[in-house]
């Protein structure tokens, strides 16, 4: 039987879904410059299938232009098709970026960070997911037995990541039922989001070849531990590569630059949660006392903080400036990695542009602090539903120039329609729908 390998040219859209069109691998060189046609209304397809009300309807044309640096090809042997895909930017027919393209949005923010402040970002995504190739057992958290029972998945996954050029940092059984976690190594700028997409899609690809399924749903069921996406990040000078996050003279080690950047993130976290925690069930996870972010607070080694100052491994004479970094914890995989990282950077850019004062670490759990102390620190509860998050996002105009009106309005229409699809379903049914979608 003659076979012709197919390459999928993809975008990770407003729903965090990876969609695209395939072409014969023999056409690769032509497609690298020509791209492939794309329809604007495709961006309004929700994670559950129905199309949200589209401002474009059946009209208009765009083109997906591939980025060769994102090409992933993993050979699974003669009995399986190769996993072969490449990420692209959605452009208008004149070659300019389409304003609603999530990857182009992230590129805009990365460019603005360097142009205005001479800074670049190094980031890594930490993903939690459900693997249905193991049964639920009590006391499986972090257990060798839970690692053993996934059998070939981890080895096949590591091998596939290596062939795709993605560096695995850690893989482990997590706290939740049938839950595992993968962290990839840090990369610069847009590449961090590209590799986040690759890490998820390769996990799904490996599970499929083993006759199983990996789901990156925000939460398996209402009483379960959620699947978070934690984004580790640090800033460095574009011209020299020098990290700018740490100041040994500050009580928590924060430099003025990083402090303003973090203050911007904290100030905008309630509104950008609409972009980073993008499912109705995301808000079952973002609650106090669940080892998840519920407030826009800065914590020092606090795994319930909205933003965490991560630990460093210091010894005598060690320069910790290259280790010192931060973790954004109010995100999940219902959101496109491009929108997640773009929202974090846009909020940080807001802080830098306004030279906000250095963020202050919250001592203790915010839910246990008096209201007066919360007000002094500027700490508020994150929105408790997708609808509430979208309302905050719509009302906050401070980042509109960076986000762009077309992207903002399309996203609001998309996600409000998605929320309406879920409104009459129980939490359990919503969890079931999202598990199937992600």
pLDDT value, residue 316:
52
Looking at the domain assignment, is residue 409 inside a domain? no
Question: Which residues neighbour 340 within 8 Å (Cβ) at sequence distance 6 or greater?
Answer: 193, 229, 231, 275, 276, 331
Cα-based angle 204, 74, 436 (whole degrees, multiple of 5): 10
Residue 315 has pLDDT above 80, yes or no: no
361-420 tens-digit pLDDT: 999 899 999 999 999 999 999 999 999 999 999 999 999 999 999 999 999 999 999 999
The answer to whether residue 151 sits within a structural domain is: yes
Mean pLDDT of the chain: 95
DSSP for 202-237, written as a single string: HHHHHHHHTT--EE--SBSSTTSPB--EEEEEEEEE
- Structural domain including 174 reads 104-390
Please check whether residue 322 lies inside any domain of the structure: yes
Q: Is residue 345 a part of any domain in this protein?
A: yes
- Does the residue 46 lie in any domain? no
Position 319 scores a pLDDT of 79
pLDDT digit string, tens, across residues 7-24: 999 999 999 999 999 999
The size of the chain, in residues, is: 438
pLDDT band at 321 (very low <50, low <70, confident <90, very high): confident
How many independent structural domains does the chain possess? Answer: 1
Looking at residue 157, which CATH number applies to its domain? Answer: 3.30.590.10
What's the average model confidence in pLDDT over 331-335? Answer: 98
Question: Which residue in this structure is represented by tokens 């890594």?
Answer: 124
What are 36-59's pLDDT values in tens digits?
999 999 999 999 999 999 999 999
Confidence bin at 333 (pLDDT 50/70/90):
very high
Q: What pLDDT was estimated at residue 1?
A: 74
Determine how β-strand 298-300 pairs with β-strand 307-309. Answer: parallel
**Confidence band of 435 (pLDDT split at 50, 70, 90):** very high
Q: Is residue 11 part of a domain?
A: no
The H or E element spanning position 171 is: strand 168-173
DSSP notation for 299-322: EES-TTSSEEEPP----TT--GGG
Q: 78-134 pLDDT, tens per residue?
A: 999 999 999 999 999 999 999 999 999 999 999 999 999 999 999 999 999 999 999
Residue at 147 is within a domain: yes
Q: Name residues whose C-beta falls within 8 Å of residue 181's C-beta, 6 or more positions apart in sequence.
A: 126, 127, 128, 129, 170, 171, 172, 173, 174
Burial 54-85 (b: 16+ CB within 10 A, else e): bebeeeeebbbbbbeebbbebebeeeeebbbb
pLDDT digits (tens, 9 = 90+) for 231-242: 999 999 999 999
16 part of a folded domain: no
**HSE-up of residue 274 (Cα within 13 Å, Cβ side):** 24
């Amino acid at each position: 039987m003659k076979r012709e390998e197919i390459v999928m040219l993809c975008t990770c859209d407003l729903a965090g879904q990876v969609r695209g069109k395939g072409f014969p691998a023999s056409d690769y060189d032509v497609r690298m410059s020509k791209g492939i046609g794309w329809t604007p209304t495709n961006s309004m397809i929700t994670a559950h299938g129905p199309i949200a009300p589209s401002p474009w309807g059946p009209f208009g044309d765009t083109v997906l232009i591939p980025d060769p640096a994102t090409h992933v090809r993993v050979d699974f042997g003669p009995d399986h098709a190769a996993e072969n895909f490449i990420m692209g930017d959605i452009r208008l027919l004149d070659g300019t970026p389409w304003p609603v393209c999530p990857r182009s949005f992230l590129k805009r923010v990365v460019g603005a960070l360097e142009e205005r402040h001479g800074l670049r970002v190094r980031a890594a995504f930490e993903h939690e997911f459900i693997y249905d190739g193991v049964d639920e057992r009590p006391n499986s958290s972090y257990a060798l037995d839970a690692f053993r029972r996934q059998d070939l998945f981890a080895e096949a996954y590591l091998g596939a990541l290596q062939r795709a050029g993605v560096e695995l940092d850690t893989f482990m059984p997590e706290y939740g039922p049938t839950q595992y976690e993968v962290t990839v190594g840090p990369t610069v700028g847009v590449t961090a989001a590209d590799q986040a997409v690759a890490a998820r899609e390769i996990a799904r690809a490996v599970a499929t070849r083993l006759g199983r399924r990996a789901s990156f749903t925000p939460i398996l069921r209402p009483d379960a531990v959620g699947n978070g996406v934690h984004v580790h990040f640090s800033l460095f000078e574009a011209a020299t590569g020098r990290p700018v996050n740490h100041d040994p003279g500050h009580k928590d080690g924060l430099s003025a630059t990083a402090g303003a950047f973090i203050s911007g993130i904290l100030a905008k976290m309630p509104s950008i949660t609409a972009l980073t925690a993008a499912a109705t069930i995301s808000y079952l996870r973002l609650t106090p006392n669940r080892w998840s972010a519920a407030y826009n607070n800065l914590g020092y080694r606090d795994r319930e903080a909205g933003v965490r100052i991560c630990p460093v491994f210091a010894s005598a004479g060690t320069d910790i400036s290259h280790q010192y970094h931060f973790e954004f914890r109010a995100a999940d995989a219902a959101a496109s990695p491009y929108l997640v990282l773009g929202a974090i950077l846009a909020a940080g850019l807001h802080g830098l542009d306004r030279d906000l004062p250095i963020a202050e670490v919250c001592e203790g759990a915010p839910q246990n602090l008096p209201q007066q102390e919360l007000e002094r620190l500027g700490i508020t509860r994150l929105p408790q539903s997708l609808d509430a998050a979208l309302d905050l996002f719509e009302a906050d105009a401070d980042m509109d120039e960076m986000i762009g009106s077309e992207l903002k309005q399309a996203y609001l229409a998309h996600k409000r329609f998605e929320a309406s699809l879920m409104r009459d379903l129980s939490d359990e049914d919503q969890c079931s729908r999202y598990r199937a979608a992600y």
